[in-house]
Every structure is written in C-alpha cells, then in structure tokens.
C-alpha cells in the first residue's frame, strides 16, 4: 500500500479575476493616496492660503510616497521583490503622473478660472483620475512586474 500522497496544486485564479482583484487593491491604496492628496491640498490652499500650484504639487508628492508603500506591500506584494530599479521606475513614473496631474490642474484652475473651494476640488479630482489611469498601466506593466520564477 502506497501511503504517499501527491499534492495537487491549487487552481490559479482566472486572469479576469486576478485583474479585477488587482484593480480593487489598486483602488484601495490609490483611494488612501487620494485622501492624503486632498487633505494636504485643502489644508495648504484653503486653510493656510498657499499658492494652488505649490499645494497641488506638494500634496501629490506626499501622496506618492504613501502610495509606494501601499502598492509595494499590499497591491503588488506578490510581484518581484523590491529592487533599486523598481523604486527608480516607481518614482520616475509617479513624477510623470504628478506632472500630468499638475498640468491638468493648472488648465482648470488658472485656464478655466475654476478657483473656488468646490471648483478647485473638482478640478483636482478630475486631474487625479486621469493621471491615475496612466499610473495604473505603468505600475502593473513596468514597475511591479511578475517575478518570472513565481508566475
């Protein structure tokens, strides 16, 4: 009688389910980053009366730092381990995202004159959404790649 048992590997999640889960986790981390972004922005602009462009860039940079931790240790924890290359790519692409977000914000705030408390936050929200679509694509494609040995 053979008492050895073969271990059957658990079936892998279907690709669509993996992407949906990834989008949900990205949204959770991104949502916390958006909260940080709005909090810092509103404190600087509407509380401390700082320049809107300085406030939006600083808020975005602070959110970028908190997002790196969330993406690395939550959303993409199953991806390749942290490397210098990964960190450089994250901050380069995030910097591009901050530039996109700031440019879009500038166009709405200064170009369209949407400078009131409600309007400035609506412009900030739209700029975050558009820049986040770019970030999602580049983070999953180039920054937090699947480890070839684990995939």
Of 20, 48, 76, the residue at which a domain comes to its end is 76
Q: Is the pLDDT of residue 112 over 90?
A: yes
pLDDT digits (tens, 9 = 90+) for 55-67: 999 999 999 989 8
23 in a domain, yes or no?
A: no
24 in a domain, yes or no?
A: no
Read off the pTM: 0.74
Q: Is the pLDDT of residue 100 over 80?
A: yes
User: What pLDDT score was predicted for residue 128?
Assistant: 92
Residues of the domain holding 125: 84-146
Measured CA to CA, the distance from residue 150 to residue 80 in angstroms comes to: 8
Total number of domains constituting the chain = 2
pLDDT digits (tens, 9 = 90+) for 4-56: 555 555 556 677 888 888 888 888 988 999 999 999 999 999 999 999 999 99
Q: What is the mean pLDDT of the chain?
A: 84
1 in a domain, yes or no?
A: no
Measured CA to CA, the distance from residue 31 to residue 1 in angstroms comes to: 57
95 in a domain, yes or no?
A: yes
- The mean per-residue pLDDT over the stretch 114-131 comes to 93
Measured CA to CA, the distance from residue 7 to residue 10 in angstroms comes to: 9
72 or 29, higher pLDDT: 29
Measured CA to CA, the distance from residue 125 to residue 39 in angstroms comes to: 12
User: What pLDDT score was predicted for residue 149?
Assistant: 46
């Amino acid at each position: 009688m053979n008492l050895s048992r073969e271990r059957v590997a658990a079936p892998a999640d279907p690709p669509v389910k993996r992407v949906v889960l990834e989008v949900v986790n990205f949204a959770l981390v991104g949502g916390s980053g958006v909260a940080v972004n709005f909090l810092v922005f509103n404190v600087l602009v509407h509380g401390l009366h700082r320049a809107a462009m300085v406030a939006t860039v600083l808020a975005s940079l602070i959110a970028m730092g908190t997002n790196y931790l969330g993406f690395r240790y939550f959303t993409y924890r199953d991806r390749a381990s942290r490397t210098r290359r990964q960190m450089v790519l994250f901050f380069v692409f995030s910097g591009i995202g901050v530039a996109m977000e700031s440019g879009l914000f500038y166009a709405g705030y200064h170009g369209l004159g949407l400078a009131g408390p409600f309007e400035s936050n609506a412009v900030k929200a739209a700029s975050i959404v558009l820049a986040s679509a770019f970030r999602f694509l580049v983070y999953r494609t180039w920054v937090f790649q699947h480890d070839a040995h684990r995939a």
